[in-house]
Amino acid sequence: MSAKVSEKTLELNVGALFVESVRAAGARNVYLRGLTQAEERRRGVDSFLQLPKGWRTMAFQFKAPMGARNRTDSLPYRFRLNYQQHVQLAKLAAKKPDAVYYVLPFYLTHLKLFLNADRLGNEVWLLRVADLSTDSLFPLKRVGRRRARRQQTRTIRCVPGVASYNPEHELIQLSKGFVEGIRVESGLGIGSKAFLNWYQEFRKVRSAKTNRRSPQLARGLRVAIFNT
């Protein structure tokens, strides 16, 4: 039995692959930036305001696989999505469908990560946020006579190439040069002004119960910033 890989370990290793992919597509000076609540309190949106006009962004929401009972790597891999987080990602995806993705690494244990270190991208899959219907992913549910409430989390089951929750959706393999394909089809990334407008709204979101920002909103969200 091998120890479970942490979400941070997956973000660090897979994030490096994204930087390589975007750079291979012709983008210069690319880097990944995390969005943390502590940073927001200190600097707000200043760093995005300082981006030159020609810079672009892509958003990647990292998800770690849920632990299996025996903690071994086996299909299907399961990932949990969050309603509040998804709503905000969907708003950004509406501006540029090919610029916002869930990142779903098929790595649960350190042993598999070690054995696949030189071909990590073969087991990292991307799910395009724009392809997911919020209402079907997080349906309204009625319990007894109570008013219908929105389901707040959803577990999706994934195998190579397919994410299932009803209906099925295509998964894109990171190692297949998806970034190069996006650039050819629709241009790479979201303009800095459009991203800034979304990010300003993103920071205002509060939990209806606590009137505070949910820790799930910014967790695992990484933004690739680059110019072409």
List the domain boundaries for the chain.
7-227
CA-to-CA separations, 45 to 39, 201, 213, in angstroms, rounded:
9, 11, 16
Q: What is the pLDDT of residue 44?
A: 47
Across 171-176, average pLDDT: 84
Phi then psi for residue 105, to 5 deg, are -75, 130
Residue 143 has pLDDT above 60, yes or no: yes
* pLDDT tens, position by position, 73-118: 889 999 999 998 999 999 999 988 988 999 999 999 999 999 998 8
CB 174 within 8 A of CB 126: yes
What's the pLDDT band for 67 if we cut at 50, 70, 90? confident
Residue 2 has pLDDT above 90, yes or no: no
Q: What is the pLDDT of residue 184?
A: 55
Across 20-33, average pLDDT: 77
* pLDDT tens, position by position, 29-59: 787 877 665 655 555 445 555 566 677 888 8
